[in-house]
Amino acid sequence: MENIAWKVWQKGKICWWVAMIFVTVGSMVQGFDRLIKSIDLIAEITGLDFYVQTGCSNYKPLNCKYSKYVAYNESENLIRNCQLLICHAGIGTLILAKKYSKKTVIVPRFAKFKEHFNDHQSEICKIIESENRPNIAVVWDINNLAGTVSMMLSQSHLLSTPIDINSGKNNIVNEIKKLLNTL
């Protein structure tokens, strides 16, 4: 039986230079309809090929392949094989993005939209932005998502080779500890 990542990778290429864009919202009990609706609209307008892990969101994409949840190993395969990763500011996802040197667009969940219990994802994004990494973009305003996706896809020079996951994990863990100590 073929795994999901392989099926998406094989069937998901829309042209010779753009492959599947993986969108993941994690496993929070709150939905992330704001992100999924925006992705669905971008897919409708552009024809780009998105595979969306929707989690507990109520909105079901009309223009994207999707599933509610993806097993960890499948998620890792999708991240490894995607051309662009769009995600919430979940640490596990960000560690995998760094491990596979993926161009990443991060959309933090906000408490004001009932997407999370608090705004710790904003704090994580502020730390990430302070590192000025050219292959990572944070989208604070969902209206800027389409432009950011376009910009990231057009910058093929941002692709690089995978890195040692342990060095990145330790840095992220240290930053999270610092953040927790300030709260």
pLDDT at site 171: 62
SS3 of the chain: helix, strand, coil, percent, to 5: 50, 10, 40
- Return the half-sphere exposure (C-beta side, CA atoms, 13 A cut-off) of residue 80: 11
Q: What are phi and psi of 160, to 5 degrees?
A: -145, 180
Q: Is the pLDDT of residue 51 over 60?
A: yes
For residues 8 and 51, the answer to whether their CB atoms sit within 8 Å is yes
128: confidence class by pLDDT, cuts 50, 70, 90: confident
More confident residue, 28 or 38: 38
pLDDT tens digits for range 63-108: 999 999 999 999 999 999 999 999 998 888 999 999 999 999 999 9
